[in-house]
Amino acid sequence: MCTNFLLAVPTIPAVQGNPTQFISARCMELTGALATNLYLVPAQQTFPIVANQSQGWIGSYGFVGLGDPQSMGQTPCFVDGINEVGLSCAALWLPGTQYPSSASSNALEFCDIAAWAMSQFATVPDVVAALAGVNVIGPAVGSQSYLPLHFIATDATGASVVIEFVGGAMNVYPPDYADGATGDGVLTNAPTYDWQRTNLSSYVHLSVEGAGTSTSNDSGPPVGSGLLGLPGDIMSASRFVKAATFRQGFGLLPGDGEGWLPTPATAGATDSTQTIVNVALQMVQMIQATPYGTALLKPTTASPSSSHPHLKARAPSVGDWTMWQVARDHTNFVYYYSTAFNSIVQKVDLTTVDFSGGSVAASALKSIQVMPAGSAWYNDASAGFA
């Protein structure tokens, strides 16, 4: 299970030509333990990085992408990332996915979709146009290499496209789908995207606006009354509604930031970047709501009977949990991430990364270890009293 969304805020302090700052966020939630590295993929990289059925291409843009180091040498599959001009692509879990099994020409293996998008395109309309010229293929349901994935790409203008595979056919939801519905960047898991958008229409009454605050509202409706009826569970449909609802508040704020940005001096007088990156990382964890050990898997076999008191009862096991979360700054070309057991935010500024050097083998890709985290998980403030 995963959750993705997009936030748009006025750029404070103002930047010429960029009145709006676009920050998207997502988390990765699975069961087990998934080793993850952040890879630097140079411009002019030859794809596929490891030979498969995809028709080859040479990338135009460098990007950073998250992937499993244990499989990178055999089947590279980037599950999240952003390129040097602000276009991101993310792969999320979609049970029930059925890929086309073969292609007569222009084949693109499903595991190459994120790299295909981030290495070649600057805008979502370019991605949408190019999708018409490729034939995505993937393994059959139940096969060893089968991964049920759907994808969302977002660019520096805030435009997004969702890509799914249902019944062996590719379904593309471009920026003009349902009067611009993809513009919120919201994507979770099953059911399919069109079902999620229809279900969302049942919650149009929800509002993040209220009549008062915890200190000003002595009587009348309590704070948050506009959210009465908001789903609170961790199921995919509920997370879709929560993400689409909570992000709406930023669209109601003044375009010049007056009254809310910079934040009050007592809060640090933070600018739009510091504010919204931290809010995005907090929101994605709040919406997903699956810290380690909170979603358990029932035992698959019965516990010992009471007639055998010396046998230890079988306990549930840890199920899905949020392993990492990212925030992507599409305006400033920066990638932020933190992990389940290290909440210190890490930053990669793509404007300072050297994407030159040409194509390299999978084994030669530079990378940063993300999961398990390789840096200290806390900052010791004990000496601050001196």
* Distance separating alpha carbons of residues 128 and 117, to the nearest angstrom: 10
Of the candidates 210, 236, 238, the residue with the CA atom closest to the CA atom of residue 225: 210
Please give the pLDDT value at position 219: 64
Confidence class of residue 106 from pLDDT cuts 50, 70 and 90? very high
Enter the pTM of the model.
Answer: 0.94
Centre a 10 Å sphere on the Cβ of residue 174 and count the other Cβ atoms it contains: 18
Please give the pLDDT value at position 308: 64
Between 310 and 37, name the one with better pLDDT.
Answer: 37
Q: Is the pLDDT of residue 13 over 90?
A: no
pLDDT in tens, 82-105: 999 999 999 999 999 999 999 999
* Distance separating alpha carbons of residues 263 and 261, to the nearest angstrom: 5
Please give the pLDDT value at position 8: 95
Please give the pLDDT value at position 170: 98
pLDDT in tens, 217-263: 666 667 788 899 999 999 999 999 999 999 999 988 888 888 888 89
Please give the pLDDT value at position 285: 94
* Distance separating alpha carbons of residues 94 and 372, to the nearest angstrom: 25
* Distance separating alpha carbons of residues 89 and 66, to the nearest angstrom: 11
Which residues, 6+ apart, have CB-to-CB distance to 27 below 8 Å? 2, 3, 284, 285, 288, 322, 323, 324, 325, 326
pLDDT in tens, 217-228: 666 667 788 899
Please give the pLDDT value at position 311: 61
Confidence class of residue 210 from pLDDT cuts 50, 70 and 90? confident
Please give the pLDDT value at position 341: 94
* Distance separating alpha carbons of residues 323 and 331, to the nearest angstrom: 26
For the residues 31-45, what does the mean pLDDT come to?
94
Backbone phi and psi for residue 312, each to the nearest 5 degrees, phi listed first: -75, 130
Q: Is the pLDDT of residue 123 over 90?
A: yes
Please give the pLDDT value at position 301: 67
Q: Is the pLDDT of residue 327 over 80?
A: yes
* Distance separating alpha carbons of residues 110 and 65, to the nearest angstrom: 16
* Distance separating alpha carbons of residues 182 and 190, to the nearest angstrom: 16
For the residues 121-126, what does the mean pLDDT come to?
98
Please give the pLDDT value at position 306: 54
Confidence class of residue 272 from pLDDT cuts 50, 70 and 90? very high
